[in-house]
Structure 1
Amino acid sequence: MQVNPQEVSAEQATTPRYDTIVISGATGQEVPRTVDGGEVVSWARGHELAAGDALLEFVTYVADGDCGISEELSMKAREALDLMARRSRLGWDADEKGGDA
């Protein structure tokens, strides 16, 4: 696969560049907030991202009310999906009140 080079330097880029670090055999349970001077903004253990598709599909089904359950449970599922979307957009700030909710 060939990647097109950036037209401008990293300092002038308008979209952030993210580096991915894959760690095998770690024994701790804490994810560091910084690495080599940069902020850690995303992480996943093992194949959790791939495994999450089935759960996302089910929660969306419940949130859409397509399964004959109570409206209250559908609303809770929708809240969970909305929080997931905010976390995807905002990272660490998703749970703070008053921001881009």
Structure 2
Amino acid sequence: MQVETPEVGAKKATTPRYDTIVIRGALGKTVPREFDGGEVVSWSRGHDLAAMDALESFVTAVADGELDDLEEIQTGAGRALELMRRRNAIGWDADTRQETKQ
């Protein structure tokens, strides 16, 4: 996604464009430094993005004042950690598998 379009007459966007590529089944652990003429500047292993979403949701709830009791915060933190670990292991599918268990 290009954040800002080029100014009239400009050949390039004024804001860098970042793309995400997900690779499944790679055998090595080497991250390429270039891809399709562009520089690789960031990457994530496994299901880290799915796992971190659980943490962000918990922190947002605390910041918004939804959890203000110490016991609520501790319980919420435990749930967030558990969800992060499940998502890290199996990705977004962790949510579906947990729902079917209950």
TM-score in terms of structure 2 length: 0.40
* Bigger RCO of structures 1 and 2 (CA < 8 A, at least 6 apart): 2
| Structure (1 or 2) with the larger CA radius of gyration | 2
TM-score in terms of structure 1 length: 0.41
Q: Which has the higher helix share?
A: 2
